[in-house]
Chains A and B, each alone.
Chain A
Amino acid sequence: MAVNRPLREYGLKSERVLWRGKGPSSFENEVEQLEQRLGLTTLEKAVAWAQTKSMWPDTFGLACCAIEMMAIVSSRYDIARFGMEAFRASPRQADLLIVSGRVAHKMAAPLRQIYDQMLEPKWVIAMGACASSGGMFNNYTTLQGVDKIVAVDVYVPGCPPRPEALMEGIIRLHERVLAGIPPAYEVRGVAS
């Protein structure tokens, strides 16, 4: 496996496919700088590659976004090509927590419990507007962003995000992991 080439040369095509001739975006530049600074060893890169290729999500579908999350499992959007179709019911067996849907204050405690039960390394994707920031529900009962209780790696906007948008979020997460960026709980705590 050739590991001396920057990430841009293998894999990071997420924006270039849509716009031929476009140079690397700010995301790709940042990831590349980080990758150079971190200087992963071959073993670490191999481990990161393995983590990316079978990152099993936990079934944490709450509301409308859960229906679109089920849609990426379906055959048109096929998340199985990333090795992620095995949605584990037990958090002990899951790597990725896709919080899809609005989180009520009553649900915040079970969410934190599930997050704590997951084994490290673990990643969190806040899917949809409600999980990222409370969405259109700025009221007494909705948690204004799931990053208040768990550390989030990727926020996917939309209400609900299209399956392709969630796929983009997942691919960006994979690229971060491949670049050696540590999961969010090591970098930052929860937002205040």
Chain B
Amino acid sequence: MAIAERRPTAIYEGTRIPSPIPTVLRVPDDLRETGDILQVNFGPNHPSTHGVLRLIVDLNGEDVVGLEAVIGYLHTGFEKNMEQKTWWKAITYPERIDYVAFQNNEYVFVAAIEKLLGLEIPPKAVWMRTLLNELNRLHSHLVWLGTSGLELGAISMFWYCFRERDQILDLFELVTGYRMHTRYFQAGGLAEDVPRGFYPECRKFVEWMPKAIDDYDNLLRRNEIWLERTKGIGLLSAEDAIALGQSGPVLRASGVDWDLRKAQPYLAYGEVDFDVPVYPHGDVYDRYRVHIDEMRQSVRIVAQCLDVVEGMEGEPWIVDDRKIVLPPREELHTSMESLIHHFKIVTEGYRVPEGEVYVAIEAPRGEMGCYVVSDGGPRPWRVKFRGTSFVALEATATCTSNALVADLIAIVGSLDTVMGEVDR
């Protein structure tokens, strides 16, 4: 059958979730007996840049007829490690879970702590957190675009995207002191004030970035090879996406208008102006379109946040509660209470009241959630991260029905998985 004939024109009817196991594509029995099935191992170390994912693929010629994903090669025991640390020290761990959208992870954990504590965050911290989260969204989408392009053969995308990515990392370094895994959010606000030099640099970036995004889009959007390799591939209908727990760009590319920033506004998202791109076809090309449009909207949000934060010069960046936040160092010379507070917070850690909360945010990949159980002590009792990529990988079997081997890479790439989130 020629390739043009096997390409579907519309999204499928009914459901394509394999049964009985939703995440495993099983070779049909008749094919197993008559066909010539080759089982190939896309081992944990493979050329595509997704990290340590292992796919056991059954091939009938070039068609993928069986698929099973094996994960766990990056399991790091985050959750158990976090139970051993105090709340303050545990904040360094979540960043490394989704190591491309690190500040979103940090934020979701800090938001859970603040929900249990019942803190009200000062507006400067709220807006700055929104700004950094959106810059991180840009960072994540750039890495996705660069690596997806690289895998599908659009190799120059890698260098263009990483050029902008370095500019974003320079901004992070300006504000927080480090490029990745910045550890800038504290329970109560930000760790340090925003340096004044950040505003003109960020403004320069915001003026430059829309043109760069247009460049990427012009390179790929009507490129014949890109269209051939992504249109009609990896279809996922809206009902299947919801049943499989997909969220973020994958869900929006399947036609479901759902974005936690609009549905359940957190931080300052209720006060900024932005659109949510939704596309109906549910294929890899639409996921690409969603990512590009989201990048443009992120730049809009960053510009608005920048205007607000610049006007808040001199305002507090962290809550003034000495039971949770370290007092400024100068006070330790004169005030006995500050010294005691400092000592208690550093040695024992602040205590978070007993309870359980689940906080979810719209990370670049989708709904990132953090479930925290506290027993009232200085350490978390249980922390669980709902990694978006963990759930996204469950959809590989559904998206890969009727796919060729070459499409498999495009599909797994479009689900935008980061293995740190999958394996935690």
Contact = CB atoms under 8 A, between A and B. Distances in A.
A165 B165 CA distance: 18
B74 A62 contact: yes
Interface of A is mostly: loop
A136 B77 contact: no
Given A71-B166, A141-B75, A107 B52 contact: yes
A89 B77 CA distance: 28
Interface stretch (A2-10, A15-23, A98-106): A98-106
Given A74-B162, A106-B72, A63 B99 contact: yes
A191 interface: no
Interface stretch (B42-50, B56-64, B239-247, B266-274): B42-50
Interface of B is mostly: loop
Interface string A120-138: 0000000000000000111
A160 B77 contact: no
Contacts of B74: 62-63, 101-102, 104, 107
Interface in B75-93: 75-78, 80-81, 92-93
Interface of B: 43-47, 49, 51-52, 72-78, 80-81, 92-93, 96, 99-100, 102, 143, 146-147, 158-159, 162-163, 165-166, 179-181, 419-420, 423
A139 B180 CA distance: 23
A137 B84 CA distance: 11
A61 to B, nearest CB: 7
A151 to B, nearest CB: 19
Interface in A61-115: 61-64, 66-68, 70-71, 73-76, 89, 101-102, 104, 106-107, 110, 114
B27 to A, nearest CB: 25
A76 B163 contact: yes
A141 B77 CA distance: 6
Interface of A: 59-64, 66-68, 70-71, 73-76, 89, 101-102, 104, 106-107, 110, 114, 136-142, 159-160, 162
18 contacts: A62-B419, A63-B99, A64-B99, A64-B180, A64-B420, A70-B162, A74-B162, A74-B163, A101-B74, A104-B72, A104-B73, A110-B44, A110-B45, A137-B76, A139-B81, A140-B80, A141-B75, A141-B76
A76 B47 contact: no
B228 to A, nearest CB: 24
Contacts of B78: 137
Contacts of A139: 76-77, 80-81
Contacts of B93: 136
Contacts of B43: 110
Name the 3 nearest CB pairs between A and B, nearest first.
A74-B162, A89-B47, A64-B99
Contacts of B143: 67, 70
A68 B180 contact: yes
A89 B46 CA distance: 7
Nearest to B80: A139
Given A64-B181, A107-B73, A139-B81, A70 B45 contact: no
Contact of B51 (A61, A142, A160): A61
Contact of B180 (A67, A73, A136, A141): A67
Contacts of B420: 63-64
Contacts of A66: 49, 51
B81 A136 contact: yes
A136 B49 contact: no
A12 B199 CA distance: 39
B423 A74 contact: no
B181 A160 contact: yes
Nearest to B54: A110
B47 A162 contact: no
B216 to A, nearest CB: 15
Given A61-B49, A64-B181, A162-B179, A74 B158 contact: yes
